[in-house]
Structure 1
Amino acid sequence: MLARLGALVVVAITALTACQAHGAREPRLSEVCAAGLMRIEGGVAACGRLEPAFVERIQKALKPGDSRVRLTSNGGEGPAAMALADLIERRRLRLEIAGICVSACAHFVYAPTPNAVVLQGALVGFHHTASYIDALKFADETPESAAEGRALSAKEAAFYRRRGLPTSFLYQPGLLVTACMSPDRRSTLNRMTFITPRRDKMELIMGRPVVGFWPKDSKELGEAYEAVAAELGVPRGETVWSVGGLTPAPQAAIDAVISRIPTCTPAQMAEAGR
C-alpha cells in the first residue's frame, strides 16, 4: 500500500532566498535541501520526505521559544505528515511553505494548519491519499494490504474531522488526477502528477484565507513549476490549476463518482506503455 502511494508522484523542489527584518541572510533552499535540516532565525528549515525519522529530526532541532518551521517536501507517509501537523499545532508554530509542498505535505501538513504562509514562488499540490487508494479496491489487494488501507483511510478521515476539513477532499484530487482504471483493475492511468486548486477553492476547503503566494492562473502556475525545474535541474511533473471538482460533497456522492471511473481503452494503455 505505502509502496503504491510512494510511486505515484515525482516532483521537484525550487530554491528561494529570503531576508529577516534584521538583515541576516537565510540559507537558500538548495542549501537546506542538501543538508535536510538547518537552524534558521526563530526555528528550523527542513527539506525532505515525510517519514517518522524526518519528523523526529525536526522535533529534536526545535528549541524553546521557536516560532516557525519552514518546510519543503515532495510528500511521503500520511501518518508522519499528520504527526508533523500535530507537532506544529502543539508548539504553536507558524508553518512556512518554501519551494514546494505536495502529496502528503499538502494534504496533511499545509491544509490542516491554520497558521500557515506560502512563501513567494512556493507551490502546493494535491493528488492521491490512502483514502482514495483504498476506495479504488484494486484487484491485486491482499487481505493484509486491504486491512492496512482501511486503517489508514480511517486515520485520515478522523484527522480531517478533528481539523474541521471536509473528508471529501481526501478523494477529490485523486479523482481529478485519475484518467481511467486499467482493464485488470490493478492500477490507474493519470492525466497529471497533481493539482493546485484555484485560490478561492482552496479557501473554501480550508475554511480560511490563503496567506502568501498562490498562482492566480494556469499560466502563472506553469511558469512557477518551470522555475522549480530549472532551479535544481530536475524534470517537473505535469500539473494542473484546477477550477472545479472540489466543492465539499457527501461520501455517497464521492463513492458514486469513484464507481464510474472508466476502464482504460487499449489505445490509452498502449500510449502509457502498459
Structure 2
Amino acid sequence: MKPEVSGLYWSLRMKFKIGLISAAILLSGCATQKMAFPTQNQLTITGNTLVYDGMITGDAVLEAIRMVNDSDQKVTTLRITSSGGDIGVGIEFGHFIKNNDMDVIVSQLCFSACANYILPAAKSVVIGKDALIGWHGGANQSDEMWDQSVPSQYEKQFYRYLTRLRIKEAEFYNKVGVDPNITVYGHTRTNTCQRSTLANGWYYTESDMRHMGIKNLTVQGELLNTLNYHNSEINSCLMPQIFN
C-alpha cells in the first residue's frame, strides 16, 4: 500500500515523528520505500460552504475550524476531498461537524479517516458522481493488524497511545450513533472483497451504510473503484451486502 494513501500509516508517522519510535516506524518495511509527505491543503469558504481539499492534519483542521468560526456567514456545509490522515485529528474534526450540524458533500474522494469520522458525523451526506469512498481500518482494528506496523520493542509505548485513541473513537461513534465496526468489517467479514482484490480499502452498499447509521445519504452516481489523486492510485472494492 502506498504510504501517501494510507491514513492509518500516516497517522502513525505523524504521531511518532520524534524520538526512536518515529525512527522505527519510518524505517520499517521495504528499505527502498519512498518518504511521503502530505500535499498542501486547499481551504476556502464560499457562501455557506467550507471547501476542504487535502489530508486531515492538525494544522489544516485547526485552520478550517478558525475559518468557520471567523466567517461572517454561518457555514452549514463541508465539501470535502480527502485521502484521509490522522485518526485523532479526524475524530476531533468529526466532533466539530456533529456539533455544528453540518451537511457533507464528497466531491471526489473520501478515504480512510475521512470515511471513518467525517461521513458518520454529518447531518446529511451527498456523494458526488464519479467519487471514490473507502474504509481500511481504524483505531479499533485488531492488535494483530497493528503489530504489523510497530516494531516489537516499541509496542508498550504504542499501545498506551492506541488505548487513548480507541476510547476517543468509541465515544465518537456512540455520540454520532454509527456502528463502530464500520471501520473494520472489511477485515473481519469472511466474505470481504479484499480477499480477492489488492484494493487499498473497501466501501459499502447504500443500504448497509444507512443501516450502520450514515444519515440522510444520497449517492449521485455509481461509485468508483479506482481513482488517481495527486499522482497516486487509490483503489476501493465493494463489500458484499452485510445487513438484510
Partner Cα separation in structure 2 for residue 208 and residue 151 of structure 1: 27
Partner Cα separation in structure 2 for residue 103 and residue 86 of structure 1: 17
Secondary structure of the corresponding residue to residue 141 of structure 2 = helix
Q: Are 2:57 and 1:51 aligned?
A: yes
Does the 8 A contact of 1:134 with 1:150 survive in 2?
no
Partner Cα separation in structure 1 for residue 10 and residue 89 of structure 2: 17
Candidates 183, 201, 206, aligned match of 1:170: 183
Which position in structure 1 is the counterpart of 2:29?
A: none
Q: RMSD between aligned alpha carbons?
A: 2.9
TM-score of the two chains, using structure 2 as the length reference: 0.71
Candidates 240, 243, 267, aligned match of 2:240: 243
Spell out the pairing of 1:3-152 with structure 2 (5 A cutoff). 5-6=8-9, 36-62=42-68, 63=71, 64-134=73-143, 136=145, 138=147, 140=152, 141-152=154-165
Does the 8 A contact of 2:135 with 2:203 survive in 1?
yes
Distance 1:149 1:247, change over 3 A: farther
Q: CA deviation at 1:4?
A: 8.8
Q: CA deviation at 1:150?
A: 1.7
Partner Cα separation in structure 2 for residue 133 and residue 214 of structure 1: 33
Residue identity opposite 2:178 in structure 1: L
Candidates 191, 199, 202, aligned match of 1:192: 199
Residue identity opposite 1:147 in structure 2: R
Does the 8 A contact of 1:133 with 1:149 survive in 2?
no
The percentage of aligned residue pairs carrying the same residue is 15
Q: CA deviation at 1:94?
A: 1.8
Residue identity opposite 1:6 in structure 2: Y
TM-score of the two chains, using structure 1 as the length reference: 0.64
Q: CA deviation at 1:34?
A: 6.7
Candidates 163, 166, 182, aligned match of 1:153: 166
Which position in structure 2 is the counterpart of 1:264?
A: none
Which position in structure 2 is the counterpart of 1:253?
A: none
4+ residue runs over 4 A deviation: none
Distance 1:41 1:34, change over 3 A: farther
Q: CA deviation at 1:7?
A: 5.1
Point out where structure 2 has 5 or more consecutive residues left out of the alignment: 1-5, 12-38
Partner Cα separation in structure 2 for residue 202 and residue 38 of structure 1: 29
Does the 8 A contact of 2:124 with 2:217 survive in 1?
no
Partner Cα separation in structure 1 for residue 160 and residue 194 of structure 2: 23
Point out where structure 1 has 5 or more consecutive residues left out of the alignment: 9-32, 180-189, 249-274
Cα-to-partner distance string for 1:187-219 (whole Å, 9 max, x where unaligned): xxx84201111111111112644213253xxxx
Which entry has the higher C-alpha Rg, 1 or 2?
A: 1
